[in-house]
Amino acid sequence: MKGGKAVGVKMADGTVINAPKVISSIGTHLTFNHLLGQESKAQKMKNQVEEIKPSASHLCLYIGLNASQEVLNLPQTNFWIYPEGGYDHDATVKNYLEDPDNHPFPVVYISFPSAKDPDWANRYPDRSTIEIITLTNYEWFAEWDNTRWHKRGEEYDTYKERLSQRLLEYMYDYVPQTKDYVETYELSSPLSTKHFVNYQKGEIYGLDHTPDRFEHKELRPSTAIKNLYLTGQDIVTAGIGGALMSGLLTASAILSKNVVKDIMTKES
Ligand SMILES: Cc1cc2nc3c(=O)[nH]c(=O)nc-3n(C[C@H](O)[C@H](O)[C@H](O)COP(=O)(O)OP(=O)(O)OC[C@H]3O[C@@H](n4cnc5c(N)ncnc54)[C@H](O)[C@@H]3O)c2cc1C
């Protein structure tokens, strides 16, 4: 920052990249809390977005299978699995968060990435992948937060293994043909997500999706700091679609023209 304006980016090794405009795609909390200094405008923005909590922490079980799509015939869709009779989602979430060992996961999402990839078999013959995601709580892992990836200790590994087995049960229930072909699996905890992509509570979708968040005036491409722009899911909404759209909105703000309209009217 110079004279209240963004003038570039300083890398961790001290290298400075000067730039007429700076676009941050790392999320609003990280941008305001970690990239900016103590400037008054930055502090003001920080306080405003501080009110919005992170979205839910998640677990993801990444599974590698040693069989092709021909053998497994995996679905080319996603499964969203809710507890039997659990039509009150808020109640099933609450019960699980209060007593996770004695309540079912309030939602389990199973996705079949390799089955959806038309080029997969050319690159990885006789292999398939599955992902299983569910809700968790960062606090359940907080005691290991200052340990290192893959060196977090036996208790942590045992805890993860127990959770992995619970999730695998869902896969065997819904896609039983996978049972003899699981070669490897690895569970990401909120600490893994923090380690790899810097989401501090292992949140799956950046900021929480509350009505307040969508009314928030700071969550937009332009910021109160001249030449500093935001992009990414936090300024639109969760998911690849939201992140993709945010790029168009930020480009539109910088270029002062409606890039979305340009693309929609462009003949392919
Ligand atoms: C397990 C999982 C499965 C998902 N599945 C789906 C799905 O099936 N469909 C869907 O639509 N969405 C899915 N999502 C959500 C989707 O991945 C996100 O909504 C989307 O990636 C957000 O894009 P983004 O560019 O805003 O942020 P990100 O993709 O999170 O990119 C932010 C980047 O900033 C980097 N970063 C952080 N701090 C710094 C720093 N200080 N300096 C430099 N770089 C930094 C991070 O490493 C990261 O690469 C999934 C998310 C998870 C975690």
Give CA–CA dist 24/40, Å, rounded.
19
The whole-number pLDDT of residue 259 equals: 92
The whole-number pLDDT of residue 268 equals: 58
The whole-number pLDDT of residue 223 equals: 93
Give CA–CA dist 138/145, Å, rounded.
9
Residue 261 or residue 112, greater confidence: 112
Section 49-59 average pLDDT? 92
7-34 pLDDT per residue, tens: 999 999 999 999 999 999 999 999 988 8
The whole-number pLDDT of residue 101 equals: 96
Q: Shortest CA distance to 41 belongs to which of 241, 237, 253, 222?
A: 222
Q: Which residue, judged by its Cα, is nearest atom 27 of ligand 1? A: 232
The per-residue b/e assignment along 67-99, b for 16 or more CB within 10 angstroms, e otherwise, is bbbeebebeeeeeebebeebeeeeebbebbbee
Q: How confident is the model at residue 217 (pLDDT cuts 50, 70, 90)?
A: confident
The tally of CA atoms less than 13 A away on the side-chain side of residue 216 is 28
Spacing, Cα 267 to ligand 1 middle (Å): 30
Which of 9, 13, 23, 25 is the pocket-test mutation for ligand 1 (most atoms within 8 Å of CB)?
25
Q: Shortest CA distance to 112 belongs to which of 157, 177, 161, 165?
A: 177
Provide the residue type at 244 as one letter.
L
- Ligand 1 atom index nearest CA of 111: 8
Q: Which tokens go with 237?
A: 């909404």
- Ligand 1 atom index nearest CA of 241: 11
The whole-number pLDDT of residue 74 equals: 98
The whole-number pLDDT of residue 4 equals: 87
Mean pLDDT, the chain, as a whole number? 94
Give CA–CA dist 49/179, Å, rounded.
45
The whole-number pLDDT of residue 267 equals: 67
Q: Where are the alpha helices (DSSP H) in the chain?
A: 28-30, 40-50, 69-72, 89-98, 113-116, 120-123, 154-174, 190-197, 211-215, 239-255, 259-265
Section 206-230 average pLDDT? 92
Section 188-209 average pLDDT? 96
Section 215-241 average pLDDT? 94
The whole-number pLDDT of residue 46 equals: 82
